[in-house]
Structure 1
Amino acid sequence: MEDSIFTKIIKGEIPCHKIYEDEYTFAFLDIHPIQPGQVLVVPKTQIATVWDMPPDEYHHFMDTVLRIGKRLCEVYPDKAKVGLMIEGLEVDHVHAKLFAFSTGEEYRRLPDIAEQPDQSALAREAEKIRIT
């Protein structure tokens, strides 16, 4: 299987704004966020869907999702909720998207993927969210 873009990010072949890493998972900022500070959590093992994950890897993955979600609540206390989507659509590597939001409009916002990411804004958000 060819490495996914997420596997390449984990390996350091593609730069990212890393938020958290442990033995099983890797979390980094999405360059096309629905809301500022959107984090992607991926298992280090390239698995297509959450349903294909072995139970122990699934539990580690969800533990990291919980940790990142709580961190977003701390960093964005003015937001009412943290959204969670688990995907494997455009990238054949299961991933969770987490982002803070207050309104349905903020939740449903679609990012402009043609727009170049603002790396300095991403770096500022990463600094606020990073778990060391």
Structure 2
Amino acid sequence: MPTIFSRIVAGEIPAHKIAETDEFLAFLDIMPTAMGHTLVIPKREVDYIFDLPDDVYAGLMAFAKKIAPAIERAILCQRIGVAVVGLEVPHAHIHLIPLNSMADMNFNNKLKLTQEELAETAAKIRACL
């Protein structure tokens, strides 16, 4: 059965997309720990990030590296934190999280944002790419 991320890639579920290539997709987390919290995924459905082929893993990191500065320019923060947890969705993904304190990396504290707030945030980040 396809993961929620594969369904986003297929266009079955809407997402606030930041950037996309043939191989990778970046979109806002709908339950972010901080404003601008972005998920970066390979379009290929692989559960565990360390099971990705080396070229896909390297490409995913390079794609995330291009997205992070745009988030940093769009969202007032000290830096972009990077996390790979891999338990919540069985599809390899990287969390890019704007940080002003360590508390911003607390996955138990989720912001409740409206679709409008998410759309505005995505547009701000896209404008900084």
| TM-score, normalization by structure 1 | 0.89
Q: Does 1:87 align with 2:85?
A: yes
SS at match of 1:92: coil
Q: What's the counterpart of residue 6 of structure 1?
A: 5
Q: Are the counterparts in 2 of residues 83 and 99 from structure 1 also a CA contact under 8 Å? A: yes
The runs of 4+ residues in structure 1 deviating greater than 2 Å are 105-113
Aligned-residue sequence identity (percent) comes to 34
Counterpart-to-counterpart distance in 2, 1:101 and 1:57: 27
SS at match of 1:87: coil
SS at match of 2:84: strand
The correspondence of residues 87-106 of structure 1 with structure 2, limited to 5 A, is: 87-106=85-104
Q: Are the counterparts in 2 of residues 49 and 87 from structure 1 also a CA contact under 8 Å? A: no
Q: Does 1:57 align with 2:56?
A: yes
Q: Deviations over 1:73-93 (max 9, x none)?
A: 2222x3111111113211100
Counterpart-to-counterpart distance in 1, 2:103 and 2:109: 12
Counterpart-to-counterpart distance in 2, 1:24 and 1:58: 11
Q: Are the counterparts in 2 of residues 87 and 94 from structure 1 also a CA contact under 8 Å? A: no
| TM-score, normalization by structure 2 | 0.91
CA shift, 1:112, in A, is 4.0
CA shift, 1:125, in A, is 0.1
Structure 2 regions of 5+ residues with no counterpart? none
Structure 1 regions of 5+ residues with no counterpart? none
Q: How many residues align?
A: 128
Q: What's the counterpart of residue 125 of structure 1?
A: 121
